[in-house]
Amino acid sequence: MTTSTEMALPPAIPGIELAKHILHRLFRDFDGCLRIRLWDGSEVHLGHNHPAFSLSFRSSKAFQELILARDPLRLAESYFQGRIDIDGDLYSALKLRHHLASLKLSLMEKAELAAKAFRIKLEKTASTSSDTPKWEKTFGQKMGLEPSKDLNRHAISFHYDVSNDFYTLWLDEQMVYSCAYYEDASQSLEQAQRDKLDHICRKLRLKPGERLLDIGCGWGALICWAAEHYGVSAYGITLSQNQYDHAQRTIKQRGLEHKVSVELLDYRDLQGEARFDKLVSVGMFEHVGLKNLPTYFAIANRLLKPGGLFLNHGITSDEGGWKKTVSTEFINRYIFPDGQLETVSTVQKIMEDTGFEVHDVEGLRQHYALTLREWVRRLDARHEEALNYVTEPVYRVWRLYMAACAMQFEEGNTGIYQILASRREPFSSPVPLTRRDLYRQPGIK
Residues annotated as catalytic (active site), given as ranges: 405
Which among 283, 276, 294, 306 is positioned nearest to 424, based on CA atoms?
Answer: 306
Which among 281, 331, 290 is positioned nearest to 311, based on CA atoms?
Answer: 281
One-character DSSP codes across 301-363:
HHHEEEEEEEEEEEEEESSTT----HHHHHIIIII-TT-----HHHHHHHHHHTTEEEEEEEE
Query: Please, what is the end-to-end C-alpha distance for the chain in angstroms?
Result: 54
CA distance 310 to 229: 19
Cα–Cα distances (Å) from 445 to 102, 149, 195, 328, in that order, read: 47, 39, 8, 38
Residue 235 phi, psi (nearest 5): -130, 125
Which among 373, 199, 163, 345 is positioned nearest to 282, based on CA atoms?
Answer: 199
Contacts of 158 (CB under 8 A, 6+ apart): 138, 139, 337
35 - beta bridge partners?
A: 45, 54
- Helices (H) and strands (E) in the chain — how many of each? 18, 11
CA distance 178 to 417: 12
CB of 319 closer than 8 Å to CB of 412: no
